[in-house]
Copies of this chain bind each other. A is one copy, B any other.
């Protein structure tokens, strides 16, 4: 008779049978039985990171592209803590993630060994589901419940805490994933309210988020717009937009507070479909928190949790929208042949060179404000954004997206200040030979904060304040950083060099980094 399968192996088998095929990890002692079980179970790809923020950001990028969760494996409270910033982004993007967090054996916790901490307390702010395993016999079902929680619409961060003895004691084998509830349908009253707004003759915005902003939703929203004259707009930050030539174009609510207020001015009704009410990213003195014009009405047609495609279909039918029409293909943007290397020409290069099927990870922050508009007519591609404002997502997200989509080129548009938070994930790109091109916008400053100083009314900043926004002493050398992590890097300072380097990176598989001097 074979030896009993331990809890760790029961959990790994539960994950694999539940469709969780990748584990992004930085493990420690308390996770060694889980790690050892990976060699006894087929079907789990285990991807090592040098820092946990890489692992959680990769889990976010993976699930946005795979439409199913990956797992993470993290080392007690501090390991989870290091991953929380990108779990915050995953939570705000409504990405399904299954975190496995190692913990001291249940009987060891009371002795307050150095690594003891309140792991549940740390997990809750960035998780929608948290459970601590109580026994090896139950850890398989606990894992199955975590998968179900993660997959509950629209997608949740689920955190299962794995005490060491629930990993090494005898387990009970893989457990089946419980039934996952269907998305609820929008109420008839919500449909009726939206119809009434659309037929009022007043200006209406269809504000799209979650599944509604993917092309399937945009096609239906476009039918409604053509019938009623309504306008389409995505949220400022979106988990995933499939776009480019042949898809329904959509603009985004601008980030800067004044531009955001401006973009909504004139709308009498704002219909939310998978989107949340437009709010300022921050509060600014003397400016409103809510961006919708005073006196406008906001109609929640379908929440992010609800079935937005169904709601859009019903709304389209109710207003008598015409059938979908093929989107007229605008000409592909032309590669600029001369000019400075700046935000505009870079955006034009992206529009011209983004290859078909590419996955764009956008953590451009200030530099990339116009990239979205300038790539509207690029070859069809997918655009992933920083969703929760917690910088340091780009390199990890690109890493996870590349694991999910081995046949698609991943292009990471990376602000330099943000990229440094989780730069270690470059090493994982090299280790896994991932097809990722990282374009670093090297302005050597926290450029966004220069504008924000004014926006919040902190006028006439002195040298100390300015110094806190500057990354030029010493100048960061991204080519050396990339080399240190095993990635080929190059710095470019002219438009022609940028084009040449980008084309080279696109033509050659494996990770590349281009430091773009701005």
A residues sitting closer than 8 Å to B (CB atoms) are 25, 27-30, 32-33, 35-36, 38-40, 46, 48, 50-51, 53, 77-79, 81-82, 84-85, 88, 92, 104-105, 107-108, 111-115, 117-119, 121-122, 124-126, 164-165, 168, 236-237, 276-277, 279-283, 285, 289-290, 387-390, 392, 417, 420-421, 423-424, 427, 430-431, 448-449, 452-453, 455-458, 461-465, 467-468, 471, 473-486
Q: What are some 30 contacts across the A-B interface (CB < 8 A)?
A: A27-B449, A27-B468, A28-B452, A29-B282, A29-B449, A30-B282, A32-B465, A38-B465, A39-B463, A48-B468, A50-B421, A77-B88, A82-B85, A82-B392, A84-B122, A105-B282, A107-B289, A111-B279, A111-B280, A111-B290, A112-B276, A121-B124, A164-B282, A168-B457, A427-B474, A427-B476, A431-B473, A476-B484, A476-B486, A477-B483
- Report the separation of the CA atoms of residues A342 and B439 in the bound assembly, to the nearest whole angstrom: 40
- Report the separation of the CA atoms of residues A482 and B164 in the bound assembly, to the nearest whole angstrom: 37
* Given the contacts A111-B279, A121-B124, A484 and B473 also touching, CB distance less than 8 Å: no
- Report the separation of the CA atoms of residues A117 and B281 in the bound assembly, to the nearest whole angstrom: 13
- Report the separation of the CA atoms of residues A134 and B105 in the bound assembly, to the nearest whole angstrom: 40
- Report the separation of the CA atoms of residues A78 and B53 in the bound assembly, to the nearest whole angstrom: 11
- Report the separation of the CA atoms of residues A117 and B126 in the bound assembly, to the nearest whole angstrom: 8
Interface residue from B32, B51, B431, B473 paired with A458 (Cβ < 8 Å): B32
Number of copies: 2
Contact A485 B475 (CB under 8 A): no
A270–chain B nearest beta-carbon distance, Å = 14
Contact A279 B112 (CB under 8 A): yes
- Report the separation of the CA atoms of residues A78 and B115 in the bound assembly, to the nearest whole angstrom: 21
A123–chain B nearest beta-carbon distance, Å = 10
Q: Which residues of the other chain, B, contact A168 by a CB distance below 8 angstroms?
A: 285, 456-458
Q: Which residues of the other chain, B, contact A483 by a CB distance below 8 angstroms?
A: 477, 480, 484
Which chain B residue lies CB-closest to A121?
B125
Interface residue from B124, B449, B471 paired with A118 (Cβ < 8 Å): B124
Known contacts A50-B471, A92-B114, A165-B283, then 6 further A-B pairs from the complex at CB < 8 Å, ordered by chain A residue:
A35-B458, A48-B467, A121-B121, A164-B282, A474-B486, A480-B484
Q: Which residues of the other chain, B, contact A485 by a CB distance below 8 angstroms?
A: 474, 476-477, 481
Q: Which residues of the other chain, B, contact A48 by a CB distance below 8 angstroms?
A: 467-468
By CB atoms of chain B within 10 A, which of A125, A277, A281 has the most? A125
Q: Which residues of the other chain, B, contact A479 by a CB distance below 8 angstroms?
A: 484
Q: Which residues of the other chain, B, contact A30 by a CB distance below 8 angstroms?
A: 282
- A-B pairs, top 9 by smallest CB distance, nearest first, are A39-B462, A474-B486, A481-B484, A78-B390, A105-B283, A108-B283, A480-B484, A81-B84, A36-B458
- Report the separation of the CA atoms of residues A421 and B457 in the bound assembly, to the nearest whole angstrom: 36
- Report the separation of the CA atoms of residues A188 and B285 in the bound assembly, to the nearest whole angstrom: 59
Q: Which residues of the other chain, B, contact A283 by a CB distance below 8 angstroms?
A: 104-105, 107-108, 164-165
- Report the separation of the CA atoms of residues A107 and B288 in the bound assembly, to the nearest whole angstrom: 10
Contact A388 B114 (CB under 8 A): yes
Q: Which residues of the other chain, B, contact A51 by a CB distance below 8 angstroms?
A: 392, 420-421
